[in-house]
Amino acid sequence: MTSTIYDSAVLYQSDPQRPSMPVFLRVDWMLQFQGMMVLAANQVWWTWEVEDIFNKVKTGEKHALKDYAQKMHQQIDDLVKRITQPMKKNDRRKLNTVLILDVHARDIVDEYLFSINDAREFEWESQLRFYWFQEQDDLFVCQCSASFTYGYEYMGLNGRLVITPLTDRIYLTLTQYPQENHPGPWTWMGVRSF
């Protein structure tokens, strides 16, 4: 499972150093893999892209965040166009779930255009961030001081919550709670939408 998520993430990103790797358009890439892998890999790439943009801004590329925001708007437009075309029920459900995540990601990036320029700022640290750590060969979900292994629990393509600022605050509370060494169960249905 872990190698499949990693492999799907690699195929999503075009790499000029490896011309033998096939390059897929984003929506076509999503249709090539199971929903869980698409959702996880999509989150990993979004985290990487935003942090890469912060690095570009640091090195003087002042319009990098604005350019990335335009790219995200275009990706959402492409996704909506594809969703309106005939497709299998499972594929439509997968793309709808990605669309909800993309709209939330777009809102975050649009908010950052005017206020955040560094990956160490609280506004970015307080977001759910997905990292593939090659040393451990595992996927981690991080938020502020909390870090969890992804767990690879299959959840299916059930309806995802619309993500609002309140949802973000709930996630922040839930991820910080176990870090404070509080005993007892802390998972509930809202956490399942990670």
> Between 63 and 192, whose confidence is greater?
63
Question: Does pLDDT of 95 surpass 80?
Answer: yes
Two tokens at 141?
């979900």
Question: Does pLDDT of 189 surpass 50?
Answer: no
Question: Does pLDDT of 19 surpass 70?
Answer: no
Candidate from 16-20, 50-54, 108-112, 144-148 with smallest mean pLDDT: 16-20
Per-residue pLDDT tens for 34-79?
888 999 999 999 999 999 999 998 999 989 989 999 999 999 999 9
Residue located via tokens 């007892």: 184
The DSSP string of the chain is -HHHHHHHHHHHS--TT-TTS----HHHHHHHS-HHHHHHHHHHHHHHHHHHHHHHHHTT-TTHHHHHHHHHHHHHHHHHHHHTS---HHHHHHHHHHHHHHHHHHHHHHHHTTT---TTSHHHHTS-EEEEETTTTEEEEEETTEEEE------TTPPPPPP-HHHHHHHHHHHHHHHTT--S----TTGGG-
Q: Which domains does the chain have, with CATH numbers?
A: 2-193 (1.20.58.1120)
Question: Does pLDDT of 188 surpass 70?
Answer: no
Residue located via tokens 């005939």: 86
